[in-house]
Amino acid sequence: MMDKRNSETAVEAVHPLKLLTRAEFAALGGDAVAYIKPVSGLVLSHMIADAEFDANVEYQLVMSADGTPLMVADTQDAVTDWLGDKSLGLATLH
């Protein structure tokens, strides 16, 4: 039996939502959905070159559904305060 995961000829399926343009995604409501992702300061330093983050601190990164960073905070309370006046739905990451 052939294992497709190890085959050089195996083709990875691309989810159709990954092929949407920004406008198509926004039409589906992608601009109204966000998620919160805990990330280390080290990772943030690589993502945002012109800012300084403590490499040993875990920050809260708020991302739009299309992957655009919206906000970085050092506490969940700061994220909650920031989201208070925004009309964004939060998606849960599993």
| pTM attached to this predicted model | 0.64
And the tokens for 34? 């966000």
**Segment 13-32, tens digit of pLDDT:** 887 767 777 777 667 666 67
What would the DSSP string read from start to end of 23-44? Answer: HHHHHTTGGGEEEEEEEEHHHH
pLDDT digits (tens, 9 = 90+) for 45-81: 998 888 899 999 999 999 887 788 899 999 999 998 9
What confidence score (pLDDT) does residue 38 get? 93
Query: Taking all residues of the chain, what is their mean pLDDT, rounded to a whole number?
Result: 80
**Is the Cβ–Cβ distance between 91 and 65 less than 8 Å?**
yes
Domain ranges for the chain, please list them. Answer: 32-94
Amino acid identity of residue 74, one-letter, is D
Higher pLDDT, 75 or 6: 75
Q: Which amino acid is at 6?
A: N
